Amino acid sequence: SRYVFDFSDGSRELKDLLGGKGANLAEMTRMGLPVPPGFTVTTDACREYLLTGSLPAGLLAEVEDHLRLVEARLGKRLGDRHDPLLLSVRSGAKFSMPGMMETILDIGLNDSTVPGLAAGSGDDRFAWDSYRRLIQMFGRTVYDVPGDLFEAELCSSRTAAGVESDADLDAAALRELVVSFKKVFAAHTGRDFPQSPHEQLYAAITAVFRSWNADRAVLYRRQERIPQNLGTAVNVMAMVFGNRGSRSGSGVAFTRDPATGRRGAYGDYLPCAQGEDVVAGIRNTMSLADLARIDPASHVKLLSIMEKLEQRYRDLCDIEFTIEDGELWMLQTRVGKRTPAAAFVIAAQLVEEGTITLDEAVSRVTGEQLAHLMFPAFDAGAAPEPLTTGIAASPGAASGAIVFDSAAAAAATVPVVLVRHETNPDDLPGMIAARGILTSRGGKTSHAAVVARGMGKTCVCGAEEIVVDAAAGTLTVGANVLRAGDVISIDGTTGHVYAGAVPVRPSPVVRWFEGELSALGDPLLSAVQRIMTHADHLARLGVHANADTADDARRARRFGATGIGLCRTEHMFLGPRRELVERLILAEDDVGREDALAALLPLQRDDFTALFAAMDGMPVTVRLIDPPLHEFLPPLAELTAAVARAEALGADTGRDGRLLAAVRRMHEQNPMLGLRGVRLGLVVPGLFAMQVRAVAEAAAARVAAGGDPRPEIMVPLVGSVQELEIVRSEALAVLSRVDGAPPIRIGTMIEVPRAALTAGDIAHAADFFSFGTNDLTQMTWGFSRDDVESAFFGRYLDLGVFAASPFETLDTSGVGELVRIAVERGRATRPGLTVGVCGEHGGDPASVRFFHDAGLDYVSCSPFRVPVARLEAGRAAS
């Protein structure tokens, strides 16, 4: 087998095997771009290592073969005393995991090669600095030597030399630092720092493999839903030195602005620095325009390479580059992460530029991104003077209590904003838990910014006026001092930071959907418009809304819903109408019951009339009453107390007494599995009939008024065809007695597993199906939806029992299988049977794709999620 690929042998298609970084380094090498020579050890080798605990047989021999190729190309040898080749050993998985795994630079330095490096570069300081960095990185990564131990030595070395920054330590000081670093290494590991460059290389490769399972990497993958079993590739490449004097430097760049999508190269550059320094936000960076000033030749070359990369990848690319003594080297590229707004703007731009088709543009954005754009933002009018302004790194509006460390953020029970000098990969748990992230150092490409954008989390970085004193628990801006626990607000779109909470306003995208803003001249809104229009054109799935009122229905229509998939009629029994329901429940005879029903009828009819008017020309699926009746009665404890009080006073317990008796009579241990849905309709005579009549009479009234009502009647909680047949024949009888109504279809929800399994029989009595995936999930897993989320879902997610709550994202292998069975059996009985889904899953991006694949006709979700579902329906079909 083959575990090692030279960069010139791979390509960007080989991400599974070479990881993203390796595949893209190979691609750039094939394009003839200046990439230092090197090779990639495959993910296969990593998986085998993780499985067996040892490197696959033959791997090291292959590594040596490829190393000789690199040596031959450069005319340098690893371990050579006079002109040593140095290597970097870099992790690189299929999916980008910024800073989560390890990279070791300057492999190959030892006591005898340091002088060679110094002589070759004419720079003693540089050579000793590289050596101490190697011992530090190698110690931490390969042998888990605590970083603090090295930091302490650095600190005392600075004190001794009387300097503030590591960059001011001279060669002699660094040489001594190497001695003390070696002592730290030996004291902690019980062995000397390995002098053999080959041993260093093998140990580094192994350490990178191991870093796949580092806690923070595991957590990041869980958060980003990256499979845990992929493993990482390892890239071994010749070092180039950005820290070799003033004509050298290191930078990161984007081919377009990753925050807004604006055209034009965008980046950060640090002279005399190695790559990690830029991302770590240790020093403040220059812009590419500054680079153009100090090194115009490299700048021109960089721009032309960026253009080539865009053409090849047909998308925004981000890159890492290093300039060594005036020579430009490419160290990394990939299709870059971007904010949700930039995703839409760039996709539309690329269509305009003729680079991609509209179909592709639809596939380049996600429903999750659109949902993000629909979040509210701070109300600029109502906001106070900002405390300060940093760099707008990841959009959104976040308010929360200040916390200064990640553990506190992760443990917080109130919304928090994580405030740091800068972040590093160990801050991940806190970043996940926080509403927003604020840092005082680092640019748009700093760790905090990159990770926050990836998570869609609000972030302001590089707010330099802020002095963060984590130990004292204070954040100071000029004369203002805020403490841990004080509320702070950050605006990731403007970079503003406010003391206290700030009111929010609706997003422009929502206002555009609402018809309050025009898309004309606005790059984001025009991009959303163009992509949504095309998504609708591609989609095969319809998108309906769950709405109970005419107001909700109108809103859903503005958001692009083409019907109502679920009108919950029980909502019409609340408020002042509750008393009528009580009368119905307390009725002691047919007359009493019929009176109560007769009083409810006109109210229901008016509700439906308004709803049908709002949805004129579109289907409105009315679900007959579903929840247990006792939900309409006062709580048992409250009633018991009221009756006891009355009895103690010797008063007449009257109506309360009768209510209490009813509540006791109707008390159920498991109401969600009790008397509800169709069961209620079969037990309380006249209830369903009243609702059906109200629907029919409302429709007739709309027809008489010149409208086009399209009601459908849906029976909940059916488990057997017999239940449905009884309700259906009663409903048909009612419908036949109402003059002037349009034809009204009668269908059923599929939400009890038995209904899914017997869908072939049920379809005989149903004109349509609609999956109630909330109940179907609850009953398939045997989870009580109202209880489990707080009781143990957190633990289940941690343990990886599922990657997402099955109430948010459809469990495709379990619940989804019931959906597939029901569709197949239902349509076998009744070809062309309309099948939809109502329930929260209808607006969940991953679930929408499943419903498309399962052959459903429409999804129905809350009005606010309608645009998300439309986009995902288009993506599923593209």
Residue numbers of the site for ligand ADP (CB under 6 A)?
36, 88, 90, 98-99, 103, 105, 237-240, 250, 274-276, 320, 322, 331-332
Q: Quick one: tokens of 150?
A: 């090295």
Q: Quick one: tokens of 861?
A: 């979700």
Complex with Mg ion: residue 452 or 545, whichever CB lies closer:
452
Taking each helix axis as running N to C, give the angle between helix 43-52 and helix 197-211, from 0 to 180 degrees, rounded to the nearest 10: 80
Q: What is the C-alpha to C-alpha distance for residues 669 and 658, in angstroms, rounded to an integer?
A: 21
Q: Which residue is nearest to ligand ADP (CB)?
A: 275
Q: At closest approach, how far in Å is the CB of 91 from ligand ADP? A: 6
Site map 70..109 versus Mg ion, x via CB under 5 A = ---------------------------------x------
Sign of CA dihedral 539, 710, 851, 792: positive
Cβ pair 360, 46 in contact under 8 A: no
Sign of CA dihedral 265, 269, 274, 279: negative
Cβ pair 459, 453 in contact under 8 A: yes
Residue 650 falls in which region: left (phi positive, over 0), alpha (psi -120 to 50) or beta: left
Q: Choose the contact partner of 298 out of ligand ADP, Mg ion, none; CB within 5 to 8 A by kind.
A: none
Residue 264 falls in which region: left (phi positive, over 0), alpha (psi -120 to 50) or beta: left
- The answer to the question of residue 24 lying near Mg ion (CB under 5 A) is no
Q: Which residues contact 846 (CB under 8 A, 6 or more apart)?
A: 804, 809, 810
Q: Choose the contact partner of 169 out of Mg ion, ligand ADP, none; CB within 5 to 8 A by kind.
A: none
Q: Quick one: tokens of 720?
A: 């057997």
Q: At closest approach, how far in Å is the CB of 105 from ligand ADP? A: 6
Q: Choose the contact partner of 135 out of Mg ion, ligand ADP, none; CB within 5 to 8 A by kind.
A: none
Q: At closest approach, how far in Å is the CB of 836 from ligand ADP? A: 44
Q: At closest approach, how far in Å is the CB of 337 from ligand ADP? A: 12
Q: At closest approach, how far in Å is the CB of 207 from Mg ion? A: 12
Cβ pair 448, 393 in contact under 8 A: yes
Complex with Mg ion: residue 94 or 710, whichever CB lies closer:
94
Q: Choose the contact partner of 854 out of Mg ion, ligand ADP, none; CB within 5 to 8 A by kind.
A: none
Q: At closest approach, how far in Å is the CB of 319 from Mg ion? A: 10
Instruction: Give residue 243's identity as a one-letter amino acid code.
Output: N
Complex with ligand ADP: residue 302 or 487, whichever CB lies closer:
302
Q: At closest approach, how far in Å is the CB of 318 from ligand ADP? A: 10
Q: Choose the contact partner of 322 out of ligand ADP, Mg ion, none; CB within 5 to 8 A by kind.
A: ligand ADP
Q: At closest approach, how far in Å is the CB of 126 from ligand ADP? A: 13
Edge-first strand order for the sheet with 103-107 is 4-6, 38-41, 232-238, 87-93, 103-107
Q: What is the C-alpha to C-alpha distance for residues 406 and 408, in angstroms, rounded to an integer?
A: 5
Q: Choose the contact partner of 237 out of ligand ADP, Mg ion, none; CB within 5 to 8 A by kind.
A: ligand ADP
Complex with ligand ADP: residue 426 or 536, whichever CB lies closer:
426
Complex with Mg ion: residue 220 or 608, whichever CB lies closer:
220
Complex with ligand ADP: residue 5 or 378, whichever CB lies closer:
5
# of chain residues touching Mg ion (CB under 5 A): 2
Question: Minimal CA–CA distance to 844: which of 812, 877, 798, 797?
Answer: 812
- Please, which of residues 326-355 interact with Mg ion by CB under 5 A? 332
Q: Which residues contact 217 (CB under 8 A, 6 or more apart)?
A: 97, 100, 101, 211
| Phi, psi (rounded to 5 degrees) for 605 | -60, -40
Complex with ligand ADP: residue 40 or 110, whichever CB lies closer:
40
Question: Minimal CA–CA distance to 487: which of 440, 539, 436, 529?
Answer: 436
CA dihedral defined by 219, 225, 231, 237, rounded to 10 degrees?
-90
Q: Choose the contact partner of 680 out of ligand ADP, Mg ion, none; CB within 5 to 8 A by kind.
A: none
Question: Among all residues, which ones are annotated catalytic?
Answer: 447, 838
Residue 263 DSSP code: E
Element (H, E) at 220: helix 215-224
Question: Minimal CA–CA distance to 699: which of 611, 572, 637, 625?
Answer: 611
Question: Which CA distances in Å does 644 have to 28, 265, 637, 648, 722?
Answer: 82, 77, 10, 6, 44
Complex with ligand ADP: residue 240 or 633, whichever CB lies closer:
240
Q: Choose the contact partner of 466 out of ligand ADP, Mg ion, none; CB within 5 to 8 A by kind.
A: none
Q: Choose the contact partner of 88 out of ligand ADP, Mg ion, none; CB within 5 to 8 A by kind.
A: ligand ADP
- Can you list the positions of beta strands (E) in 25-174? 38-41, 77-78, 84-85, 87-93, 103-107
Polymer length of the chain: 878
Q: At closest approach, how far in Å is the CB of 359 from ligand ADP? A: 32
- Site residues for Mg ion per CB under 5 A: 103, 332
